Amino acid sequence: MKSIRRQLTRHLLAVTLLLLGGGLAGVYLAAREAALEQFDAALRAKALAVSSLTRLEADGVTVDFDDRFLRGFDERKPRDFFQIWDDSGRTLARSESMARRADLPQRTGRLGKPERWNLTLPDGRPGRAIGFTFEPRRAGLSGPKAGGELRLVVVSDREDLAETLWQLLGISAACAAL
């Protein structure tokens, strides 16, 4: 015969565990979303820095980007990559870190609503990319707009982000187990 106290205790324990599990899942998902938004904001800042250094001159497009300006783009320990194309798909510029690597995918949105996606870097590491079209600055040119829009894709290694999310998931699982 089951006592009311035993049934009530079991039901109360089950509801408490469900609420705790739901709360931990909610905290994990909110923290994951915040970390991803922060990563995307940093990636967008890098892309805007590269696009702001691009200008249209009489003899073509010039990118005044020095890979030592943003350390992740250099060749020694590449963590960031960029590539710029004209409207016909011809590569105009790429980071030193892209040396001897395949081209980046040409997925782009608008500057106000860029395309974002996860991908695998050529060396097998996980990466995250942002791509948008933009109009370069015009260096002393007048008259009708010439040169059109350029497409820019910037990719960053997201290995550290993935590790942080796994640690957060592990902490959430350990709290649930306790």
DSSP labels, 27-64: HHHHHHHHHHHHHHHHHHHHHHHHHHTEEEETTEEEE-
State the pTM of this model. 0.78
* pLDDT tens figures, 16-45: 888 988 988 898 899 999 999 999 999 999
Tokens describing residue 123:
């060396």
Tokens describing residue 57:
């001159």
The dihedral built from the CA positions of residue 118, 31, 176 and 19, taken in this order, carries a sign that is: negative
* pLDDT tens figures, 98-130: 766 688 899 999 988 999 999 988 778 899 999
